[in-house]
Structure 1
Amino acid sequence: MAVNDGAFKGLSVLIPAHDEADWLPACLDALCASEPVAGPVEVIVVANGCSDNTAELARGETSAFEARGWSLRVLELAKGGKLGAWNAGEAAALGNVLVYLDADVLVSPPLLAQLAEALAGGAPRYASGVPQVTTSGNWVTRHYTRFWQTTGFMTHGVPGFGVFAMNRAGRARWCVWPDIISDDTFARLNFRPEERISVPATYAWPMIEGFAPLVRVRRRQDVGVAEVEQLFPHLMRNDDLHDQMRPFWRRALADPLGALVFVAVRLTIHAPVLRSANRWVRGR
């Protein structure tokens, strides 16, 4: 991992992008519409293993960022892989604050400034905003999402999926990113609950649409969390305690249809159907 030499005291936004031509322009437009951030800002798009025009589209946004005094760089890697993209982006990044952003996420205007402020100190810190999970109308996804948002993962702590950030002191806790599935879980659990900061600004994160894609992707996420637990058991002590959450039966009474769909997805995850040999399977 590259170490900031102190010349650049700002914020670096890292965006891994593998065939993200349909999503990346909107992501960059939302970034460019952000409120002012104290200090310089650089955006680094890491186009990894792309077979579409992701890199070209990203470069087309350069002038818009330059017009507001920010820089936009595009790195192209021949090999796909999110963890490799994180490593390459960090090697090029200069900021004291590192923001890790998925290419299908839309940040709200105040988010970057709030992350920069929350992570300005010298103590190791991690931060994220408030996720607003979006759906495009599929009824299974809509009901699943509504109930999923009542789980302890969503109601306690700082979930950090889709976008998370840390300062250099926090990032120094490990060397290169390991070859794992759940990068967001690994990053979050490298910080104790009191070191994780939730800022009030929101971001839009799209939920996978349809029953089969939901099963595949949620299974992959379960496998990713289990992988972190197996490889880095010491990190699990940093997980959030969910003993104050509402019991399942109360949530099910309040939303029986959502509970039914949620349980159906969860049961199918553990069944020998809809499995994929690709550990990086995506639902879109």
Structure 2
Amino acid sequence: MMQDKMAGSMRLCVIIPANNEAALIGGCLEAILASDWQGGGVQVIVAANGCSDDTVAQARGFATAFDRLGWHLEVLDLAKGGKLNALNLADAKVHAPIRVYLDADVTISRGLLWQLADALSGPAPRYASGKVNITAKSWLSRAYARIWRQVPFMSDCVPGCGVFAVNDAGRARWGAFPEIISDDTYVRLSFAPQERVGVQASYEWPIAEGFHNLVKVRRRQDVGVDEVAQKFPDLIENDDKPDFPLSRKLSMALHAPISFAVYSGVALVSKLTRNRNAGWSRGR
């Protein structure tokens, strides 16, 4: 009876996979609570997986705050680590027609949930994300971010880094999340470019700190994209990654030579070391 009541009242579900995110899960949940959402009940599922810190306790401490809004927070304490397993188990508990997949280190703006829901309100399959604000602390990572945010794929497309959302018809495009490195690439390419919507509301997405960690994460990203192309070649026709012309690169290099050198160095080392283990790495 409780599940039937929830299914009828929830309009949007936020799924947050989390592995040892005790230091960040609070900020992520506080941003959700501060949302200007007015569209009915919200279901939030924190899929804590393989945590050795107090991520679970930190997240469960927000239950009362969600209850006050008439929203529902559920924290899954999963012994087994792994983002894909966490996503699949959380997906099985969704009682809302719109799903937002949110990384635990991401901080959303007040208007993001509402704008995503509006973009996904029709019956046709749709994918949506907000305007990403790449953040970093160290000077080197800030330099990398300065160029990365200008790369055509990041500035002209809907990359969905750290946040992507789908409606019911869109979620029907795939079954369980497959065991792959890049779940966001897999989902994005499950939709044609005209089925992807970018909304104006923003979110903050932190990147790895330091050269070594930037290389690790960049290598993982590149290998993850290659893996999707190899395992799901039919999805590649949906790839709308624009060219990165030499003229644009030269312009960036002239305007920000140090930042461009950092970005190019990370890309080059990542390419030269691509055969190394590209398992999951947050670089923090």
- Superposed displacement of residue 252, structure 1: 1.8
Sequence identity, in percent?
Answer: 51
* Structure 2 residue aligned with 1:108: 109
Q: Match for 1:60: what amino acid?
A: G
Matches of residues 116-195 of structure 1 in structure 2 within 5 Å?
A: 116-136=117-137, 138-195=138-195
Cα 1:241/1:52, change in 2 over 3 Å: closer
- Superposed displacement of residue 277, structure 1: 3.7
* Structure 2 residue aligned with 1:262: 263
Matches of residues 50-89 of structure 1 in structure 2 within 5 Å?
A: 50-89=51-90
Q: Match for 2:237: what amino acid?
A: R
SS in 2 for 1:36: coil
SS in 1 for 2:227: helix
Matches of residues 199-238 of structure 1 in structure 2 within 5 Å?
A: 199-238=199-238
SS in 2 for 1:247: helix
Q: Match for 2:160: what amino acid?
A: G
Contact between 2:44 and 2:74, CA under 8 Å: does it hold in 1? yes
Contact between 1:156 and 1:240, CA under 8 Å: does it hold in 2? no
- Superposed displacement of residue 278, structure 1: 6.0
* Structure 2 residue aligned with 1:252: 253
Contact between 2:153 and 2:241, CA under 8 Å: does it hold in 1? no
Between the aligned partners of 1:241 and 1:145, the Cα distance in structure 2 is 19
TM norm structure 1: 0.93
Between the aligned partners of 1:144 and 1:53, the Cα distance in structure 2 is 32
The total of aligned residue pairs comes to: 278
Contact between 1:115 and 1:128, CA under 8 Å: does it hold in 2? yes
Cα 1:111/1:92, change in 2 over 3 Å: same
Contact between 2:151 and 2:244, CA under 8 Å: does it hold in 1? no
Runs of 5+ consecutive residues of structure 2 not aligned to the other structure: 1-5
Q: Match for 1:104: what amino acid?
A: D
- Superposed displacement of residue 241, structure 1: 4.4
- Superposed displacement of residue 134, structure 1: 0.9
Contact between 1:14 and 1:100, CA under 8 Å: does it hold in 2? yes
- Superposed displacement of residue 37, structure 1: 3.1
Between the aligned partners of 1:6 and 1:57, the Cα distance in structure 2 is 26
Cα 1:64/1:9, change in 2 over 3 Å: closer
Between the aligned partners of 1:19 and 1:214, the Cα distance in structure 2 is 20
Cα 1:60/1:257, change in 2 over 3 Å: same
Between the aligned partners of 2:89 and 2:38, the Cα distance in structure 1 is 24
Contact between 1:17 and 1:48, CA under 8 Å: does it hold in 2? yes
Give deviations 1:207-246, integer Å, cap 9, x for gaps. 1110000001110111101000111111111111414866
Contact between 1:27 and 1:107, CA under 8 Å: does it hold in 2? yes
* Structure 2 residue aligned with 1:197: 197
SS in 1 for 2:260: helix
Give yes or no for the alignment of 1:91 onto 2:92: yes
SS in 2 for 1:142: helix
- Superposed displacement of residue 36, structure 1: 2.3
Runs of 5+ consecutive residues of structure 1 not aligned to the other structure: none
- Superposed displacement of residue 39, structure 1: 2.2
